[in-house]
Amino acid sequence: MIHFVLLISRQGKVRLTKWYSTYTQKERTKVIRELSGVILTRGPKLCNFVEWRGFKVVYKRYASLYFCMCIDQDDNELEILEIIHHYVEILDRYFGSVCELDLIFNFHKAYYILDEILIAGELQESSKKTVARLIAAQDSLVETAKEQASSISNIIAQATK
Amino acid sequence: MNPFSSGTRLRDMIRAIRACKTAAEERAVVRKECAAIRAAINENDQDYRHRNLAKLMFIHMLGYPTHFGQMECLKLIASAGFPEKRIGYLGLMLLLDERQEVLMLVTNSLKQDLNHSNQYIVGLALCALGNICSAEMARDLAPEVERLLQFRDPNVRKKAALCSIRIIKKVPDLAENFINPASSLLKEKHHGVLITGVQLCMDLCKVSSEALEYVRKKCIEGLVKTLRDIANSPYSPEYDIAGITDPFLHIRLLKLLRILGQGDADASDCMNDILAQVATKTESKKNAGNAILYECVETIMSIEDNGGLRVLAINILGRFLSNRDNNIRYVALNMLMKAIVVDAQAVQRHRATILECVKDSDASIRKRALELVYLLVNESNVKPLTKELIEYLEVSDQEFKGDLTAKICSLVEKFSPEKIWYIDQMLKVLSEAGNFVKDEVWHALIVVISNASDLHGYTVRALYRAFQTSTEQESLVRVAVWCIGEYGDMLVNNVGMLDIEEPITVTESDTVDAVEVAIKRHTLDLTTKAMALIALLKLSSRFPSCSERIKDIIVQNKRSLMLELQQRSIEFNCILQKHQNIRSALLERMPVLDEATFSGRRAGSLHTAISTSTGAPHNLQNGIAKPAAAPIADLLDLSSDDAAAPSSSGGDFLMDLLGVDLSPASAPSGTSQPPKAGTDVLLDLLSIGTSPPAQSSSSASDILSSSQDNKAPLANLNGLASLSSLPANATSPASPVPMMDLLDGLGPIPQKHEENGPAYPSLVAYESSSLRMTFNFSKQPGNPQMTLIQATFTNLSPNVYNDFLFQAAVPKFLQLHLDPASSNTLPASGNGSITQNLKVTNSQQGKKSLVMRIRIAYKMNNKDVLEEGQINNFPRDL
């Protein structure tokens, strides 16, 4: 299973963290510090796996961002690389050639998408189209709610004029 | 709009934070935002609740504390609208974890949302539950999740399946409820549901054998068919990755088949064809295909034997290994480790390639390859492989040297075909990476050297040469100094020259030079210097012509800041000046150290950590600066050694006694050397302090009998005892006082308290290579059943221990009360200790003696270490 997902920028800034196993706040900070130290310093041609505290961390760099997932010793590292790529492709489709800034200002959207791909540290959906459809449906629910709210407040505003 | 709300938009806050140039500025912005959010929370502001929570999540991600927002998540979750719930659940998953009590409050809202009419809200609740639920919540909400496994919408079903995984991991008892609904998911067509269903079945099979049986019987054919369909399916754009339809589903099916096939020949038979098809037909140009092949190989290796398939799998690994992609090579090495159990011969064929990988520039690959090479070595290939590894040791990175050295040493010890080869290889390792060599490794080397009497001359000359070139390697210096001290004369006279050696000319003063270098080099540590001092003392009798010079060097150390060196140099000076008559006997060669005893003890110390400790390795340098106490058991089994092979070598016992006096704790380890007269004397000493044999343990008779044989050495000893313990009046005649001193140093003598009344001797209750625990006993007057024990822990390793925790358990007739420990951090190398008080009440005092099981847990370099042991050697009558 995937124990956690980290998105770290090249400067070591955390862009997204998702914990599927239990870590205290202190441990989380320590894990992030330790791993960004290891991963950001690795050369470009090296393999994408780091052995760490009896686990394996699979990471992949996309532009300025490192996507990292921590898995058990006997999990399939190559598959995790595909899962990372799967997530990146979905982000890319959603934002339209995604960049780091998109993920900073819309970090909650990145989380929503991740929640449609992984639950409990396991893969949920292998179809990018389905994920996109589900996210779009939920976004439109939010939009309708907003419109309703604003129209109600308009009505109230007009009524109280 | 509330004019008083100081809220900025989320986007503005992120901008403001990003615009900060320094960390202090960022903190200021965050502080201001947090203050505004707290104010909004206090006002119970509704309009901006979701925006505030979003801000808090961002702040949380930056690493600031956000606990005050936890209740806001619950409020948002409890509100009716989808947008509020969506952000509320996200906040719940980010800001809370399963250990927070607040989480329990959300159970009710979750239950409602799981029954909500809007499927997206059900989805949100399932997702949150799957990511953070605790065992209690799992129990409470399992029925809802179970029902949702049959929900009409597949997107809810797949979420419920993953949620069930979390539930059965938290509460494995619930597994049986999920077996039926889970196996019906395997018949679905929707890929999301299939993937999650297969995953759920895997986890069920892991926790419940009932589930495993069920799935094996009912579902295996369906699974094989699904895999065949998916492997043969035509191009489908929705699931296609690099020309393969849904590799994720492929991989999960292969995994589940592996679990089903393991240990079941019929099930394995059932999947042979499809595995062969996947292994041969899958495209291996892209990562997705390789991921499937990798999984397929692992399944083939794990299921019941099928020769043809295994050949196929090994061939795939061979292809992987020669791949240029580092990732593929890494997984190949990983898998070969497993394959070696199945087919060692096939893996041996790739030895050359694997050896190349040890030298790879990538640390992850190096580590895997080294581990694999370690498994590949056997008697027939140890020489070439070790040669390669040692050559690589010379050029490898500093951080890799530790691992590499440990592995080489272990290989050389395990497979060495002859002694000279062993010594040669160890010398190479010592001079290349002596600082990385563990203590027990060079201790073992000294034992081997001392046993190889025909190689003494060769070894000391080789060490001398190596020492000339690399004085920076601590353990090389130690071994060299020890050997020069012991066999210095062979170095000068070229005794025992082998044909392969080049003759060298070393004068007596060259030899002393070498040892002087070791004593004066400030980078070397105390142990090394102390060993050098002893070596000098020994050389003084081997080389009478250098005796004056040696005396000068020893005298210089009288002013050493290190107490150990100071005291020794004073004592040694006395020996040189005033005791010419016994000096040569005193400084004879060490008796041969018994290899079998040594390796037996070493193995014992590694596997069972009972209260008898491993003093043996430490006595190699006469116990200098190696405080190692062995409890009475050592003495006892030694006395039987004596009976078996008595031998006598005049003055050896004196060395032991020096050890006794200088570092009291090491006394018993001195006696654990192989049979010789000296130990008898020590035992004799013991018997002086002991009470009549009536209450002594079974081997006490041995002690007594040996004492009768050895009246003569005792006389000798009196002179020495006074000399070594009280240098000031070294010339004074034998007096009983110094003898009692010696006794004090002996520590655990169960019988001793008979004489001393209620004062109990302290006891080294537990000792391993890394840790020592000493017990001090006292009794309160008027309460004979209760014993107060003060436990003192000392760290013998160079690493600090954190989260130190001592636990103890006693049988029913005892009652134990543990006070808190003085600290939970144990400084390295004995620089401080932890004390902890224990109260033990013995309800059967006088009939049964104390016994205790202990467990010590701590973290060393962030790794959890657990040591366990049993203490049976409490003083009786406690």
d(CA B260, CA B270): 10
CA-closest candidate to residue B434, choices B474, B402, B404, B394: B474
At a CB cut-off of 8 Å and minimum separation 6, what does B582 contact? B651, B654, B716, B719, B720
pLDDT for the residue B647? 39
Chain B nearest-CA residue for A43: B362
In the block, which residue shows the tokens 């796996």?
A49
CA-closest candidate to residue B433, choices B414, B457, B460, B412: B412
b (16+ CB within 10 A) / e for A77-97: bbbbbbbbbbbbebbebbbee
Residue B557 vs residues B529, B536, B564, B567: alpha-carbon distances, Å = 10, 12, 10, 9
- pLDDT-derived band at B794 (thresholds 50, 70, 90) equals confident
Q: What's the burial of A24, exposed, middle or buried (CB within 10 Å: 0-12/13-18/19+)?
A: exposed
d(CA B621, CA B528): 10
pLDDT for the residue B7? 63
Q: Is the pLDDT of residue B728 over 60?
A: no
Work out whether strand B786-795 and strand B771-779 pair parallel, antiparallel, or are unpaired. Answer: antiparallel
Q: Which domains does chain B have, with CATH numbers?
A: 1-96 (no CATH), 412-596 (1.25.10), 760-871 (2.60.40.1230)
- pLDDT above 90 coverage of chain B, percent: 11
> Is B254 in contact with B300 (CB distance < 8 Å)?
no
Q: What is the arithmetic mean of pLDDT over A53-73?
A: 92
Using alpha carbons only, how large is chain A's radius of gyration in Å?
19
Q: What CA dihedral angle connects A18, A21, A27 and A32, to 10 degrees?
A: -40
CA-closest candidate to residue A59, choices A117, A6, A15, A114: A6
d(CA B589, CA B485): 9
- pLDDT-derived band at B158 (thresholds 50, 70, 90) equals very high
Q: Is the pLDDT of residue B644 over 60?
A: no
Chain A nearest-CA residue for B331: A77
- pLDDT-derived band at B129 (thresholds 50, 70, 90) equals very high
pLDDT for the residue B704? 40
Question: In whole angstroms, what separates CA B147 from the centre of its chain?
Answer: 46
Is A122 in Cβ contact with B162 (below 8 Å)?
Answer: yes
> Is B466 in contact with B483 (CB distance < 8 Å)?
no
Best B133, B364, B367, B863 residue to mutate vs chain A (most A CBs within 10 Å): B364
At a CB cut-off of 8 Å and minimum separation 6, what does B136 contact? B104, B107
What tokens appear for B874 in the block? 């409490």
pLDDT for the residue A161? 66
Is A43 in Cβ contact with B361 (below 8 Å)?
Answer: yes
What tokens appear for A44 in the block? 């470009």
Q: Which of A19-23, B529-533, B610-614 is most confident?
A: A19-23
In the block, which residue shows the tokens 């579902």?
B219
d(CA A152, CA A156): 6
> Is B449 in contact with B483 (CB distance < 8 Å)?
yes
d(CA B590, CA B26): 68
d(CA A71, CA A20): 11
d(CA B109, CA B36): 28
Using alpha carbons only, how large is chain B's radius of gyration in Å?
36
d(CA B438, CA A157): 80
How much is the pTM? 0.64
Min mean pLDDT across A15-24, B198-207, B298-307, B756-765 is at B756-765
Chain A nearest-CA residue for B290: A78
d(CA B477, CA B409): 17
Across the A:B interface, residue pairs with CB atoms under 8 Å apart total: 162
Is A119 in Cβ contact with B364 (below 8 Å)?
Answer: no
Q: What CA dihedral angle connects A67, A73, A75 and A81, to 10 degrees?
A: 20
Q: Given B65, B158, B247, which is nearest A124 (Cβ)? A: B158
Is B248 in Cβ contact with A79 (below 8 Å)?
Answer: yes
- pLDDT-derived band at B602 (thresholds 50, 70, 90) equals low
Chain B nearest-CA residue for A79: B291
CA-closest candidate to residue A131, choices B192, B82, B248: B192
- pLDDT-derived band at B620 (thresholds 50, 70, 90) equals very low
Q: What angle (nearest 5°) sits at the alpha carbon of residue B606, between those of residues B602 and B607?
A: 120
Q: Kindly indicate whether the domain formed by A2-160 is annotated with CATH number 3.30.450.60.
A: yes
Interface ipTM? 0.94
- DSSP of B658-703: HHHHHSGGGHHHHHTSSS-HHHHHHHHHHHHHS--GGGS-TTHHHH
Q: What's the burial of B574, exposed, middle or buried (CB within 10 Å: 0-12/13-18/19+)?
A: middle
Best B362, B371, B862 residue to mutate vs chain A (most A CBs within 10 Å): B362
In the block, which residue shows the tokens 């018994």?
B594
Best B66, B240, B241 residue to mutate vs chain A (most A CBs within 10 Å): B241
d(CA B690, CA B687): 5
Q: What is the arithmetic mean of pLDDT over B655-681?
A: 40
d(CA B764, CA B668): 11
- pLDDT-derived band at B762 (thresholds 50, 70, 90) equals confident
Question: In whole angstroms, what separates CA B138 from the centre of its chain?
Answer: 35
Q: Is the pLDDT of residue B609 over 90?
A: no
Question: In whole angstroms, what separates CA B311 from the centre of its chain?
Answer: 37
- pLDDT-derived band at B3 (thresholds 50, 70, 90) equals very low
Q: Given B199, B248, B364, which is nearest A47 (Cβ)? A: B364
What tokens appear for B723 in the block? 């000399």
- Specify the amino acid at residue B605: S
pLDDT in tens, B496-555: 777 777 777 777 777 788 888 877 777 778 888 888 888 888 888 777 777 778 888 888
Chain A nearest-CA residue for B330: A47
Alpha helices by DSSP H, B220-264: 220-232, 247-261
Q: Is the pLDDT of residue B654 over 60?
A: no
Q: Count the alpha carbons within 13 Å of B592 in the hemisphere toward its beta carbon.
A: 11
> Is B552 in contact with B536 (CB distance < 8 Å)?
no
pLDDT in tens, B217-260: 888 888 999 998 888 888 888 888 888 888 999 999 999 999 99
Q: Given A14, A78, A83, which is nearest B331 (Cβ)? A: A78
- Specify the amino acid at residue B90: L
- B866 by DSSP, 3-state: which? strand
- pLDDT-derived band at B662 (thresholds 50, 70, 90) equals very low
Q: What is the arithmetic mean of pLDDT over A113-126?
A: 93
Q: What CA dihedral angle connects A137, A142, A144 and A148, to 10 degrees?
A: 160
d(CA B538, CA B583): 9
> Is B810 in contact with B878 (CB distance < 8 Å)?
no
Give the single-character DSSP code of B172. G
pLDDT for the residue B738? 41
CA-closest candidate to residue B486, choices B428, B534, B554, B551: B534
Is B90 in Cβ contact with A108 (below 8 Å)?
Answer: yes
pLDDT for the residue A122? 93
Work out whether strand A49-52 and strand B863-871 pair parallel, antiparallel, or are unpaired. Answer: unpaired
pLDDT in tens, B434-463: 778 877 778 878 888 887 777 777 888 888
pLDDT in tens, B318-336: 888 888 888 888 888 888 8
Alpha helices by DSSP H, B396-436: 398-415, 419-433
What tokens appear for B54 in the block? 């979003």
d(CA B786, CA B845): 9
What tokens appear for B115 in the block? 């029954």
Number of residues that this document lists for chain B: 878
What is the residue-averaged pLDDT of chain B? 76
d(CA B653, CA B674): 11
Give the single-character DSSP code of B3. T
Q: Is the pLDDT of residue B313 over 70?
A: yes
- pLDDT above 70 coverage of chain B, percent: 81
Is A112 in Cβ contact with B86 (below 8 Å)?
Answer: yes
b (16+ CB within 10 A) / e for B690-727: beeeeebeebbebbbebbeebeebbebbebbbbbbbeb
d(CA B490, CA B450): 14
pLDDT for the residue B605? 54
Q: Count the alpha carbons within 13 Å of B723 in the hemisphere toward its beta carbon.
A: 22
Longest CA–CA span in chain A (Å) reads 68
Q: Which of B186-200, B261-275, B528-542, B767-781 is most confident?
A: B186-200
